[in-house]
Amino acid sequence: MANLYYREDLDASDIVPGSLVEVSGDEGRHAVRVSRLRVGERTAIGDGAGALGDGAVESVAKDRFTVRIDRVIPSAPPAGPRLVLVQALAKGDRDERAVEQATEFGVDAIVPWQAARSVSRWDGSGAQERIAKGLAKWRRVAREASKQSMRARIPEVREPVSLDGLREIASREQETVVVLHPRGTSRVSTWARSAAESAHPADELLLVVGPEGGFAGDELDGLEEAGASILLLGDTVLRTSSAGPAALAVLNAAFQRW
């Protein structure tokens, strides 16, 4: 079995041994015409929200196929807090690459934010259209990366957050905000080991990554004053597209998600 296809309109009761699931539309067309799915092959079907099963393909048409589910694949929620990447908008496709890699590394949710030094901008005239277009693109990237990595759950791509919104989140007890920046004096790895042993872990851990030009001084100061931890990832400075995924790998190990 090498492929996974989603039907987000299904739920766990539809993906049970013996059920016949049809996949049509763009998903079915891609499977048949691009991936060359054939009768008798095994493939996985998921609802993108945790239900996942696999079975043999029973029929193939021009833009659809059916699978007889014969096995449900267990998919328990990962250990520890939900890991959320707050990714600054970046030029080119660097923010999309961050979304792709973070999804492959198991992130639970992704939040775009427009930092002061973000080259890419979603504000100004026509902001609503740009936001809608940007969110659609990020969600498409997350969905495709989830398929590639055989994830039962597609990470949620939330509405953009402002600096004030991040400050408000950092002030809450049930959420922890970590900012990656060379100004930090403690390493993410050291902090993560301590957080994993906490008797009262947060519900969500938000990992904030800045744009190509880095954080503005008032952004760092404001987040730290609100309760965020400024942490050092390592001795080198990573690109905005790789910093978040690298930190997620550290957190996955610390919280025994990997």
Chain-centroid distance of CA 124 in Å reads 27
- pLDDT at res. 202: 87
How high is the pLDDT of residue 124? 85
CATH number for 4-72: choose from 2.40.240.20, 3.50.50.60, 2.60.40.10, 3.30.470.10.
Answer: 2.40.240.20
**pLDDT tens digits along 163-178:** 999 999 999 988 999 9
Q: Does the pLDDT value for residue 1 go beyond 70? A: no
92 pLDDT higher than 80: yes
pLDDT of residue 250: 96
| Mean pLDDT, the chain, integer | 94
In a 10 Å sphere around its CB, with 0-12 CB exposed, 13-18 middle and 19+ buried, how is residue 240 labelled? buried
pLDDT in tens, 129-156: 999 999 999 999 999 999 999 999 999 9
Report the pLDDT value the prediction gives residue 174, as an integer from 0 to 100.
87
> 104 - beta bridge partners?
none
Cβ distance 158 to 110 under 8 Å?
A: yes
Could you give the strand order of the β-sheet that contains 52-60, starting from the edge strand earlier in sequence? 4-6, 42-46, 52-60, 65-72, 20-23
pTM of the model: 0.92
Task: Write down the domain spans for the chain.
Answer: 4-72, 82-254
> Tell me: the pLDDT tens digits for 194-251?
999 887 888 999 999 999 999 999 999 999 999 999 999 988 889 999 999 999 999 9
Tokens of 105: 């590394």
How many alpha carbons lie under 13 Å from residue 188 in its C-beta half-sphere? 28
Q: In CATH, which superfamily holds the domain spanning 82-254?
A: SPOUT methyltransferase, trefoil knot domain (3.40.1280.10)
Check residue 203 and give its pLDDT. Answer: 92
Average pLDDT over residues 55-65: 95
CA 238, 242, 244 angle in degrees (round to 5)? Answer: 100
Instruction: Please report the pLDDT score of residue 25 as a whole number.
Output: 94
